[in-house]
């Protein structure tokens, strides 16, 4: 569960960084599951491990090499390190709790479906983009800087 939530956080921050029309971080889309967002392909590839540690890269099937971040893809490498530093200390349940809060994309879709969500229901990228962009703006102070700039412009008549 922890890996799922870390991948979800990376997915959300990537959308906030690259935008909805940018390069995708994963081909898989997060879906609404009981304990929060889940990437189905990732789940099925790793479910054999249960709660055990995953000690090496895993392939989708025994005849393929594992998908790896390309050595020259520094943006993805930086993001993965940043996600680990920001969220890696949290337990799987703490990460799950983060995704269940009212207003989160998982919660919004669940609420729109009266908390009776059908299997294979994806979380819209738009919702994820909005949440993580909002966090980014709030934390970076952009919103405060914009408001101060707008107030200054209003006072100076421009």
Instruction: Say if residues 8 and 37 touch (Cβ distance below 8 Å).
Output: yes
Q: Which pLDDT score is estimated for 142?
A: 59
Rounded to the nearest angstrom, the gap between the alpha carbon of residue 7 and the centroid of all alpha carbons in its chain is 6
Domain count of the chain?
A: 1
pLDDT, one tens digit per residue, over 34-58 is 889 999 999 998 998 988 888 888 8
Range of the domain at 138: 2-155
Q: Which pLDDT score is estimated for 30?
A: 97
Q: Calculate the average pLDDT of the chain.
A: 88
CA distance 158 to 152: 9
Rounded to the nearest angstrom, the gap between the alpha carbon of residue 93 and the centroid of all alpha carbons in its chain is 16
> How distant, in Å, are the alpha carbons of 85, 120, 153, 158 from that of 12?
16, 19, 33, 36
Q: How confident is the model at residue 70 (pLDDT cuts 50, 70, 90)?
A: confident
């Amino acid at each position: 569960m922890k890996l799922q939530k870390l991948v979800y956080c990376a997915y959300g921050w990537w959308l906030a960084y690259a935008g909805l029309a940018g390069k995708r971080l994963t081909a898989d889309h997060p879906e609404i599951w009981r304990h929060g967002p889940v990437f189905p392909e990732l789940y099925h590839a790793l479910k054999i491990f249960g709660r055990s540690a995953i000690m090496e890269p895993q392939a989708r099937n025994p005849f393929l090499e594992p998908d790896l971040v390309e050595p020259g893809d520094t943006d993805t490498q930086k993001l993965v390190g940043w996600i680990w530093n920001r969220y890696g200390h949290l337990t799987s349940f703490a990460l799950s709790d983060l995704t269940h809060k009212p207003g989160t994309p998982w919660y919004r879709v669940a609420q729109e479906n009266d908390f009776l969500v059908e299997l294979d229901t994806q979380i819209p990228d738009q919702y994820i983009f909005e949440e993580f962009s909002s966090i980014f703006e709030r934390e970076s102070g952009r919103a405060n800087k914009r408001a101060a700039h707008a107030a200054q412009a209003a006072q100076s008549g421009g």
